[in-house]
Amino acid sequence: MTTDPGEVRLDVRGQVAVLTIDRPAKLNAFTPPMTQALAGHVARLNDDPGVRAVVLTGTGRAFCAGSDIAGLDDYATPWQFGNRPDYCDAIRALRKPVIAAVNGYALGGGMELALGCDIRLAAEPATFAAPEIKLGWIGGGGMSALLAHSIGPGNAAVMLLTGDPIDTATARRWGLVSEVLPAEDLAGRARELAATIASRAPIAAETAKRNLRAAFEMPLGRAIDYERQLQTVCFATEDATEGRAAFAERRPPVFQAR
């Protein structure tokens, strides 16, 4: 099922949903209505037990070029600008595992959007940059923290302080993306990976996502203790019982998100 044939489209096929940023004439740069649309899709996906994994991608030459700069002067004050709804916050609010299929330019907020995803795949023509410093400001959607966690503070500093782009080979070497693929293979590989994740126990998958994020925010001892608590929660689910039974009976498990 496909909804909203506008600038942020949602296509649900079985247990996998695909969110597509579809404003190619503007390199998929976000406007406030697009942010609202994305937030609405995320809320729907969070409430849909049938969807177990999500792919985020773009159309045309770009994954996303960040915010539409032409609209930034519409904010009456810096305070209003700072309190605007943010598309990066919207994607981070998605509880389901999400894969960024970076098909082209991922610039500024577009790279932040990809960093907000759990896994990043890239097509060979993709380019990554944090160009805000060239315009007189810095990223505000988690750029510094997420980038430093992803590629290390030194590499993050190179990107943040120069604003210059990196290619997919560098992105792969630095750990910004997990895989680099020919452009024609990107969508299929993203769906394949999403389908694999969707076949796993959904409560455990969402818990693993939450645990990974928490691990960056806690000291080691607390992180291990928190993980053990989450493991106990998962162990008490019907899916965990089904997983053990399927293992003993040598059959594929049938997970019900219970």
pLDDT at 83: 64
Indicate the burial class of 84 (C-beta count within 10 angstroms; 0-12, 13-18, 19 or more): middle
Q: Would you call 111 helix, strand, or coil by DSSP?
A: helix
Q: What is the model's pTM?
A: 0.92
Mean per-residue pLDDT over the chain, rounded? 93
Residue 4: Cβ within 10 Å count: 14
Contact between 226 and 253 (Cβ < 8 Å): no
Q: Would you call 129 helix, strand, or coil by DSSP?
A: strand
Q: Which domains does the chain have, with CATH numbers?
A: 2-198 (3.90.226.10), 202-249 (1.10.12)
Q: Which two tokens stand for residue 199?
A: 């076949």
pLDDT at 5: 44
Q: How confident is the model at residue 75 (pLDDT cuts 50, 70, 90)?
A: low
Per-residue pLDDT tens digits for 127-148: 999 999 999 989 888 999 999 9
Q: How far is CA 169 from CA 40, 64, 174, 175, 181, in A?
A: 35, 19, 9, 10, 11
- For the ranges 57-61, 65-69, 124-128, 154-158, the lowest mean pLDDT is seen at 65-69
Please identify every residue annotated as catalytic.
112, 132
Highest-pLDDT range among 95-109, 127-141, 209-223: 95-109
- Name the nearest CA neighbour of 126 among 111, 140, 116: 111
CA angle 216/217/222 to nearest 5° reads: 100
